[in-house]
Structure 1
Amino acid sequence: MRRYGHGLVLGKFYPPHAGHHHLVATAADRCETLTVLVCAASVESLPLADRVAWMREEHPGVRVVGAVDDIPVNVDDPAVWDAHMAVFRAAVPEPVDAVFTSEPYGAELGRRFGAESVCVDPERTRFPVSGTAVRESPAACWDFLRPPVRAALTRRVVVLGAESTGTTTLARDLADHYRRRGGVWARTRWVPEYGREFSERKLARLRAERTEARWSDVAFASDEFPLIARVQAEREEAAARAGSPVLFCDTDAFATTVWHERYLGFPSEEVRRIAARGRQSLWLLTDDRGVPFEDDGLRDQEELRPWMTGRFAAELARTGRRTVRVSGPRERRLADAVAAVDRLLAEGPRLADPLPDLSARPGLPVRPDRPGCPDRPGPPDPVGSPGPVGSPELGERP
C-alpha cells in the first residue's frame, strides 16, 4: 500500500463522529504527516475552536487547523471551487501529496491540490452515521460519538433548592428513571453536590481541633466558593463525557452564587463568571413547602428556607434560565420533572443547519469527466453528508 509524505483530510466535522475518525486514522496510517482542516461556517452552532479541540484530542499525532468557510457548496461551479480553494490554501499552504475523502468530489479536490485522491470506505460500511443524523438525533447516534462531543450535546438538568428540600433525592430518582429506559439511557448519571463534600471536610477539620464543634461554628470565606463551583463544573463535565444524552446535577455553579449570598451576604462575581460558562439546559427548583426540615448535622436555620427558595426563583428569572418548579410529594415531583425533561429532550439539540448545497444534483456522483470514488447506491452518506436528501456537510463536499 502506497505511503505519502503530506496528506490532507478536510471536513466540517459538525460534529465529529466515528466515520470522520476512521477517515483520519486511515489517512494518518498512510502518511508521514497528516493535516486535518476543519472548515466551519458562521451560521453553524458548534464553535470552530471546539471542533478543532475535539479533533486534536482524538488524534494527538495529527496536525489540526481550522478555517471559517462561509461559501455555499456548489460542485458544478468552477468559481465556487476557486473560492473554497482560496480558503483551503490559506489554511494549508504547504504542498499536499494526497487528499483522503469518502466522497465523489475527491478526484477534483485532489486535482486542485495537485495531489493524489485516495478514497476511503465510500459505501460507509464501517460506520453508518452522518453529521446530519447526529444533528437531528444525537441519542440515536450516541455510540458513534466520542466523549468530548457527547459532553457538548448532553442535555444537562440541574436540581437546586433550599436546604432539606429533596434536591439529592430528585436527582437520584431522575437518573434511576432514565436508566430504566435501557439502551444508551442505561448510562444516565447524576452528579452529587460537591459543596456538601467540601462542607463535611470543613466540619471534620474543625472537630479535630474542637470535638464539641457544631455546624453553626463553621465559617466560610469568599474564595472557597469559586473552588466549589469549579470542582462542581469539572465533575459535571466528566460525567457528561461518560454518560447518556441526559445528565442530572445536584446543584451547579449558578446555585453556588446564591449559596455565597446566603453565607456571606453578597454575591460573588467570580462564581458568576464560572456559572456563565455552563452548558446546563434546564433547572428544576424544589419547593420548600410541605417538605419537613431534617437536620443531618450540616444544616441550620430552617427559617431561611423560604428566603432561599425565593432567591433561587428570582435569580433564575433574572438570568433567563429555563426553570420548572416542582412541589408536592416525592412521586408528584418526579412525574413533573420527568415531563419537563422529556419536553427538553424532544426538542433536540437545536443545531443550526449548515450552508445549503447549490449543486445541480446534490448528493449524486460527480460528472464522468471527474472520476473519483465509486457511485454510492443505497443508504445516505454517513461521513459528513446526508446523501440524496438534506443539507450536506461543508468540507465533506467543497
Structure 2
Amino acid sequence: MKEFGHALVLGKFYPPHNGHHHLIETAASRSERTTVTVLAASHETIPLDDRVRWLTETHASTPGVRIIGDLDDHPMDFDSDEIWDLHVALTRAVLARRAIADGEPGEARVDAVFSSEKYGDELAGRLGARHVLVDLDRLTHPVSGTAMRTDPVANWHHLSPAVQRGLGWKVVVLGAESTGTTTLSRRLAGHFGAPWIPEYGREHTEHKLAAARSFSADATLDGLVWTLGDFEDVAREQERRIQAETAPLVIADNDAFAATVWGERYLGFRPEIFPGSAPDLYLLTDHAGVPFEQDGWRDGEHLRSWMTGLFERELTARGVPWLKLTEDRFATAVTAIEHLMRQDVARGSRSRA
C-alpha cells in the first residue's frame, strides 16, 4: 500500500521538462493514483493538446498516472482570496472531469498535492490535502519553463524525447528532378550541425528495381510499375524517419507531402494518401537555371517546369510556410532558417499547428 491514495500534480507545463517529469514520477511512486492537470492560458503559444500529448507519451508506463488538460485564464494573485477561490474551483472541476472519465465520479478528491512551488502549501490546504514539496531549489533538474522558452536549444537536454520531437524545428527541401534538393539539404544540415534525412523515395526505387530483377534479371527502371501502395509506403517511411529525430533542428530531403506530389507525377492522378505533419518551413528548389544531370535514375527533364508549378500550387493550397529558392539558394535558405528559429525564441516558445 502506498502512502497516498490520490495525488495531484498541477501546472502549466509550458513546456514539460525533466523537472516536471521528476515531480510526476515522485508523486506516482508514493501514490496509488496520480492526476496530472495541465492548465494552459489562451494566450500561450504552445497548444494545450500538445502538452497533454507529450506528457501522456512520456508517462505512458508510469503506474497510476492520468493526464488531463483544461483552460485557466484566471489572473494570478497569491494574495487574493477571490482569485484563489477561482483557481481552486477550476481545479476541483478538472479533477471531477478526470474522475468521471475514469468511471469513478465519487473519487475526485485528492489527499496529496505534489509541487515544486511555495504556493503548494496554500493549494493543498484549500483542497483539504497534504502538500509534498519536491526539489524547490531545482537542484535535481536545474531548469524552468521560462528558461526553456527563452533558450530552448541550450536547455534541450532537459526535455524528454516526446517533447523534443514536438518542439524541434523541421525544415524540408523539395523540388522537381535534378534541382539540387539533396545537395542543398545535406549542405544545410552540415552548416547547422543538424541531422539530415535523405529522400527515402530514391532508396525505395532502388529496392523496387532489385525486387523486379528477382523476377526478371533484365528488368529496367523504365519498366517498373508504380502503384498507389508504393507512394503510401514512401510517405509513411519518410515521415517516420523525420519524426524519429529528437534534435532541435532537422533538415529533410522531401517528406510525406512531397511523396503525394511525386505520386501525381508517376500515377497520373493525385493519390489520397497520408500527407504527414507539416514542417516549420518548406524550401522549394527552382528548376530554372539548374542544369539537368542524368545519374541513371532520372527520367523527367521535360516535366521539371510542370513539377515546380505543381509544388507551388500545392504548397500554397496547403497554407504552410514555404520559400522558393532561386538565386543564392544556400545563403537565402540559411537566412530563412535562422529567421525562423529567432522568431520562435523571441516570442517565448514553440508553436506547432
Q: 2:239 aligns with which of 233, 236, 256?
A: 233
C-alpha separation between the residues in 2 aligned to 1:79 and 1:158? 50
Report SS of the residue matched to 1:296: coil
Distance, in Å, in 1 between the alignment partners of 2:35 and 2:322 is 44
Out of 96, 99, 119, the position equivalent to 2:133 is 119
> Counterpart of 1:164?
178
**Residue in 2 aligned with 1:176?**
190
Per-residue deviation, residues 133-164 of structure 1 (Å, max 9, x unmatched): 22233212211111111111111111111112
Q: In structure 2, give the amino acid aligned to 1:84.
A: H
What is the CA-CA distance between 1:352 and the residue it aligns to? 7.4
Deviation (angstroms), 1:111: 0.7
Q: How does 1:173-252 map to 2 (within 5 A)?
A: 173-179=187-193, 188-239=194-245, 241=246, 243=247, 245-252=248-255
Q: For residue 92 of structure 1, give the secondary structure of its aligned residue in structure 2.
A: helix
1:145-164 map, 5 Å: 145-164=159-178
Aligned to 2:142: 128
Structure 1 match to 2:14? 14
Distance of 1:326 and 1:8 partners within structure 2: 51
1:103–1:122 Cα contact (<8 Å) kept: yes
- CA–CA distance in 2 between the matches of 1:267 and 1:32? 52
Task: Say if 1:153 and 1:349, in contact at 8 Å, map to a contact too.
Answer: no
RMSD between aligned residues:
2.2
Write the distance in 1 (CA, Å) between the matches of 2:56 and 2:320. Answer: 32
Q: What secondary structure is seen at the aligned counterpart in 1 of 2:284?
A: strand
**Structural mapping, 1:347-386, within 5 Å:** 347-348=343-344
| Letter paired with 1:346 | R
Q: 1: distance between equivalents of 2:281 and 2:318?
A: 13
Q: How far is 1:262 from its partner?
A: 1.0
User: Normalized against structure 1, the TM-score is what?
Assistant: 0.77
Secondary structure class of the residue paired with 2:77? coil
Percentage of identical aligned residues: 50
For residues 50 and 346 of structure 1, the distance between their equivalents in structure 2, rounded to whole angstroms, comes to 21
Counterpart of 1:129 in structure 2: which amino acid?
V
Q: Normalized against structure 2, the TM-score is what?
A: 0.87
Q: Which range moves more in the overlay, 289-298 or 10-19?
A: 289-298
Alignment partners' CA distance in 2, 1:350 and 1:233: 28
- 3-state SS of paired residue (1:149): helix
C-alpha contact 2:260 2:273 (8 A) present in aligned 1: no
Letter in 1 for 2:94: A
- 1:4-153 mapped onto 2 (5 Å cutoff): 4-59=4-59, 60-61=61-62, 62-93=65-96, 94-153=108-167
Determine the C-alpha separation between the residues in 1 that align with 2:308 and 2:58.
43
Q: Secondary structure at the match of 1:56?
A: helix
Read off the aligned partner of 1:193 and give its amino acid letter. Answer: E
Q: Tell me what 1:324 maps to.
A: 323
Q: Secondary structure at the match of 1:139?
A: coil
2:243 aligned partner, one-letter code: E
What amino acid is aligned across from residue 236 of structure 2 in structure 1? R
Q: For 1:291 and 1:67, how far apart are their aligned partners in 2? A: 52
Q: Contact 1:101 / 1:120 at 8 angstroms: preserved in 2?
A: yes
Decide whether the 8 Å contact of 1:17 with 1:146 is kept in 2.
yes
Higher relative contact order (CA 8 A, sep 6+): 1
Look up the equivalent residue of 1:39 and give its one-letter code: L
Distance in 2 between the 1:322 and 1:32 partners?
46
Q: Residues 57, 259 of structure 1: CA spacing in aligned structure 2 closer, same or farther, 3 A cutoff?
A: same
Structure 2 segments unaligned to the other structure (5+ residues): 97-107
Kindly state the Cα deviation for residue 351 of structure 1 after the two structures are TM-superposed.
6.0
- Local SS of the residue matching 1:117: strand
Three-state SS of the structure 1 residue aligned to 2:296 is coil
Check 1:215–1:324 CA distance in 2 against 1; reply closer, same or farther (3 A cut). same
The separation in 2 between residues aligned to 1:79 and 1:8, in whole angstroms, is 22
What is the alpha-carbon distance in structure 2 between the residues aligned to residue 194 and residue 77 of structure 1?
58
1:336 and 1:83 map into 2 onto residues whose CA distance is 50
Cα deviation, residue 349, structure 1: 5.3
Of 207-216 and 28-37, the range deviating more from structure 2: 28-37
Q: Secondary structure at the match of 1:25?
A: helix
Give the partner amino acid of 1:304: L
- Say whether the 8 Å CA contact 1:136–1:348 is kept in structure 2: no
| Alpha-carbon spacing, 1:122–1:29, altered in 2? closer, same or farther (3 Å) | same
**Local SS of the residue matching 2:153:** helix
1:336 aligns with 2:332: yes
Contact 1:67 1:87 in 2 (8 A): no
